[in-house]
Amino acid sequence: VLAAAHELLVAGGVEALTMRRLASRLDVAPNALYSHVVSKTQLLDDLLDDLLSQVDTPPAEAEDPVAALAALMTSTYAVLTAHPSLVPLYLARQGARGANAVRLGERMDALLTRAGVPDRGVPEARRVLIVHTIGFAAFSTGANPADGSAAPVAAEEAGRNFARGLQWVLAGIVQDAGASR
């Protein structure tokens, strides 16, 4: 069921995923879906958390926690941009809060702590990193650049922008961590 929903999504984008179309693709009456899914919202939440399972999560004990954080965010960015049709859904929910999302958040916290960020500053740093990553994924998958330029931004250029901004953010985080030590 989730698989069929995902197929519909990649084929036609967010607006193509309706319960009725999903049902017809499964050769079934529209209401039959409600034997497998509690609501469309729930279906979308499941879809989103499923995607997050593809993120490559570095171990919490990585030698270089900052590099591991960069890898984690970059992998998240890659997974999101590889599934452009899901990114708008992500934004609409302001990030998922399924099991995988929680797991990723905890891993980030562990790495931030090992990078020297004091406990008080961990949620803050985590949020800035998440906002940067999801925001940039939205930016690079969107048809319309948000900056008023005429041409859409090329995927690889967006990726480079993401990486550069990520370095800035990480540098700020570790610098603050050093200052408070």
Partner DNA sequence: ACCTGAACACCGTTCAAGT
Please tell me the distance from the alpha carbon of residue 9 to that of residue 167, in angstroms, as a whole number: 32
Binding piece for DNA, criterion CB under 7 A, among 17-25, 94-102, 123-131, 162-170: 17-25
Q: Would you count residue 44 as binding a copy of itself (CB under 8 A)?
A: no
Q: Which is nearer to DNA, 6 or 114 (CB)?
A: 6
Q: Would you count residue 12 as binding DNA (CB under 7 A)?
A: no
Q: Would you count residue 14 as binding DNA (CB under 7 A)?
A: no
For every residue of the chain, DSSP letters joined together read -HHHHHHHHHHH-GGG--HHHHHHHTTS-GGGGGGT-S-HHHHHHHHHHHHHTTS----TT-S-HHHHHHHHHHHHHHHHHH-TTTHHHHHHTTS--SHHHHHHHHHHHHHHHHTT--GGGHHHHHHHHHHHHHHHHHHHHSSS-TTS-SSPPPHHHHHHHHHHHHHHHHHHHHHHHHHT-
Q: Which is nearer to DNA, 19 or 67 (CB)?
A: 19
CB of 87 to DNA, least distance (A): 19
Q: Would you count residue 36 as binding DNA (CB under 7 A)?
A: yes
CB of 13 to DNA, least distance (A): 13
Supply 94's token pair.
């302001």
CB of 169 to a copy of itself, least distance (A): 5
| Residue ranges binding DNA (CB under 7 A) | 17-21, 27-32, 34-36, 39-41
Chain residues in the site for a copy of itself (CB under 8 A): 88, 91-97, 101-102, 104-106, 123-124, 126-128, 130-132, 134-136, 138-139, 142-149, 153, 160-161, 164-165, 167-169, 171-173, 175-176
